[in-house]
Structure 1
């Protein structure tokens, strides 16, 4: 079965900023210290780095990482480094990832999220010497499982037609 290919409208920069702010607010909620809760900022950064690499880049990822560092009261630069590398590698593979259906895209997202978590874990272990356990990496698997939902939600405003016409197939 051939799936339809949508001609997407350009992404509104205000919508991109709003989704990043909402992801940051979701990370501010008190459930963030529980194992398995996804890092919404990282997920939204990867999404926009893949879909709009010219609008969301490494600089915005660095700033969002600094905001998360201040919120979590961690070593300044821990999340900034992880988000910067996450955005860089997402931009590197963005053309390849967009060729695949959303389910397969999640398999490309999983190693990126694992890499970001591994960087954060290495920095934490150098500073504190404590290993949080293998359940710590469940966050990446949950982010990969949420990828189809996030892609559907964040691409929804771009799928609508500017002028709806029943005689035009696009």
Structure 2
């Protein structure tokens, strides 16, 4: 069985966390958000930071990002906020467990978290009189879970670098 090396990571920089959430928000603002299957980048980034840095990114930041997305989507105020808050809460609940699994199993956990968040938003929309958008809506969670290894590699990259470079050090 081939194990991937476990890196000793540097502490996450708060500015980098804020920058990644800003980039995710800007990606959600792009007009491709109305296409079928385009993942919710804010939700994916929130799951990542809630799993990897639960003390820095928690329910409060998830609620704030949800309010921003509610305003952008012209959705019922609190719809995305509730979904993101629950998403962050469940991600924080399982964060220690998820990190021990290989990347594929982590992606399955992320898929289930994103699916629950999507279901909450869908139930709220249908409850207030919206129409069911169809089963293709859940393709977003599947694509976001498929992007999990790429997102993990990108967002952990700044933490993998050594503070002082030494070519003889194996870590």
Per the normalisation by structure 1, the TM-score is 0.98
Matches within 5 A, 1:144-163: 144-163=145-164
1:116-146 CA-to-partner distances (Å, cap 9, x unmatched) read 0000101111122411000011000001000
Q: Measure the CA separation in 2 of the matches of 1:30 and 1:22.
A: 15
Q: Which residue of 2 aligns with 1:36?
A: 37
Q: Measure the CA separation in 1 of the matches of 2:167 and 2:33.
A: 46
Q: Which residue of 1 aligns with 2:135?
A: 134
Matches within 5 A, 1:54-69: 54-69=55-70
Question: In 2 relative to 1, CA 127–169 (structure 1 residues): closer, same or farther, beyond 3 Å?
Answer: same
Aligned residue for 2:128, secondary structure, equals: helix
Which ranges in structure 2 are unaligned for 5 or more consecutive residues? Answer: none
Matches within 5 A, 1:20-169: 20-169=21-170
Which ranges in structure 1 are unaligned for 5 or more consecutive residues? Answer: none
Question: 1:102–1:151: 8 Å Cα contact kept in structure 2?
Answer: no
Per the normalisation by structure 2, the TM-score is 0.97
